[in-house]
């Protein structure tokens, strides 16, 4: 073990009062004086600064001070000062012997001991002593407690009452139930060895208390289940029979629901396919209408060209016919007539017009045949689209007829499923109650 910690000074400071200081020397220090001079307050203040108590005594004098400074020399010869507000709370640790506000902020240490943490005053001081995380057996059943400064404080700060007491310094509390702990604590201070390897064993009384507590807890849980089951509910046998019947009904209902769903899905798919087929006809039908409109305008052009060429043909025929006759105006014979055009040119124009007419008529007939074919296709598309519309309407009607059946089957299945869920929960309550009853018997028998 390390050599220990030496207390150097205890100082109280306040904003409008002179510091109150008590200095200590190496070794044993005795604070003495007349009654009401502060001896008991000093011991309590030391325990307050060692985190053995949470607060200072409420005295008239303390109201003038707001801070306490405890100077310590650690076992490593390091000087530190613990600061704490007179109202309590966390600590600050500063290097050096500080008696007033230091220039730099110190590290914060918690006043409350926590065996799982190292940021508290108790761990800070015990680590210096080599006693951090030490474990002490506190009962004959090897129950354990982790060492803290609060448990060591009776050996650090001894009050006047403890000095004049006839009790052994080792058994300082005088409480019989604490004797095992106090002996083991003193043994730890002498040897440095704790009882971390000890195995805790429950005694007969503790076992009896624990058994009673467990039985009470199980009884409470059984009572809660009984309340949930209720008095008017079905018995376990009735519940099992109801579940069996519902499971059978659910099987047939599930088949009916699946059949209704499949039928509805099939009808919806059929209607969708009909709609898509009808939609696919639209581009071709539009294309036919546009083509027929264009061909109609072309047919009119053909008719106009034929009429114009036929007029030219008839005019040429007349001119050719009159070419070998006397002039109808002057009566001159053909031999003495003077014309700017020749008869053979007129005949050539007449034949050309006639040939063009025949060519256009052939194209007109071919156009007519094509338009007749396209009209037939368009008529077929109209008829097919009309039939598809009728089929779509019939499919929609079948869907409307099938949907209520599917909805009714679904609702019935869901209602019966909800009923089964409630019965399953009630059956689970019975099973949990049975397990608790068995567990209660095991506890009473010591298992």
So what's the pLDDT on residue 1? 41
Contact (Cβ atoms closer than 8 angstroms) between residue 82 and residue 49: yes
Contact (Cβ atoms closer than 8 angstroms) between residue 41 and residue 57: yes
Give the Cα separation of 214 and 443 in Å (integer).
7
The percent of the chain in helix, strand and coil, each rounded to the nearest 5, is 60, 10, 30
Residue 340 confidence (pLDDT) above 50: no
Cβ neighbours of 62 (radius 10 Å): 18
Query: Considering all CA atoms of the chain, what is the largest pairwise distance in Å, rounded to the nearest integer?
Result: 183
So what's the pLDDT on residue 191? 84
Give the residue from 121, 47, 57, 54 showing the smallest Cα distance to 88. Answer: 54
User: What average pLDDT does the segment 337-344 reach?
Assistant: 55
Give the Cα separation of 297 and 303 in Å (integer).
10
Q: How far apart are the first and last CA of the chain?
A: 45
The distance of Cα 197 from the centroid of its chain, to the nearest Å, equals 44
Residue 178 confidence (pLDDT) above 50: yes
Q: Which residue has the tokens 């390897």?
A: 197
> Lowest-confidence range among 239-248, 270-279, 348-357, 405-414?
348-357
Would the pTM count as exceeding 0.85? no
Cβ neighbours of 131 (radius 10 Å): 21
User: What average pLDDT does the segment 224-247 reach?
Assistant: 83
Give the Cα separation of 200 and 206 in Å (integer).
12
CATH class of the region 236-444: mainly alpha
């Amino acid at each position: 073990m390390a050599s220990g910690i030496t207390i150097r000074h205890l100082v109280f400071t306040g904003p409008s009062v002179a510091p109150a200081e008590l200095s200590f020397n190496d070794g044993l220090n005795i604070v003495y004086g007349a009654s009401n001079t502060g001896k008991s307050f000093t011991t309590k203040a030391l325990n307050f600064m060692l985190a053995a108590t949470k607060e200072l005594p409420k005295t008239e004098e303390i109201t003038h001070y707001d801070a306490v400074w405890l100077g310590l020399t650690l076992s490593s010869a390091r000087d530190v000062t613990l600061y704490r507000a007179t109202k309590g709370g966390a600590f600050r640790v500063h290097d050096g012997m500080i008696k007033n506000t230091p220039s730099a902020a110190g590290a914060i240490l918690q006043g409350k001991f926590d065996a799982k943490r190292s940021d508290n005053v108790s761990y800070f001081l015990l680590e210096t002593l080599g006693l951090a995380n030490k474990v002490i057996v506190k009962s004959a059943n090897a129950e354990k407690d982790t060492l803290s400064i609060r448990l060591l404080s009776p050996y650090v700060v001894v009050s006047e009452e403890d000095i004049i007491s006839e009790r052994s310094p080792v058994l300082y509390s005088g409480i019989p139930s604490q004797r095992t702990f106090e002996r083991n604590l003193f043994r730890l201070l002498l040897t440095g060895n704790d009882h971390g390897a000890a195995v805790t064993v429950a005694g007969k009384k503790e076992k009896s208390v624990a058994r009673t507590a467990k039985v009470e807890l199980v009884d409470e849980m059984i009572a809660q289940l009984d309340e949930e089951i209720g008095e008017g509910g079905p018995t376990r046998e009735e519940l099992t029979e109801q579940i069996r019947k519902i499971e059978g009904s659910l099987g047939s209902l599930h088949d009916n629901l699946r059949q209704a769903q499949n039928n509805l899905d099939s009808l919806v798919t059929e209607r969708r396919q009909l709609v898509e087929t009808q939609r696919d006809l639209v581009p071709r039908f539009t294309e036919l209408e546009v083509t027929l409109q264009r061909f109609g305008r072309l047919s009119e052009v053909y008719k106009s060209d034929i009429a114009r060429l036929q007029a030219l043909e008839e005019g040429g025929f007349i001119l050719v016919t009159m070419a070998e006759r006397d002039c109808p105006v002057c009566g001159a014979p053909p031999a003495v007539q003077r014309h700017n055009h020749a008869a053979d040119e007129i005949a050539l124009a007449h034949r050309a017009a006639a040939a063009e007419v025949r060519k256009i008529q052939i194209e007109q007939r071919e156009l007519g045949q094509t338009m007749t074919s396209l009209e037939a296709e368009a008529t077929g598309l109209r008829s097919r689209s009309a039939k598809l519309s009728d089929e779509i309407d019939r499919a929609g009607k079948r869907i409307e007829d099938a949907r209520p059946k599917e909805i009714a089957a679904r609702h019935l299945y869901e209602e019966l499923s909800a009923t089964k869920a409630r019965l399953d929960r009630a059956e689970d309550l019975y099973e949990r109650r049975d397990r608790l009853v068995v567990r209660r018997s095991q506890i009473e028998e010591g298992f």
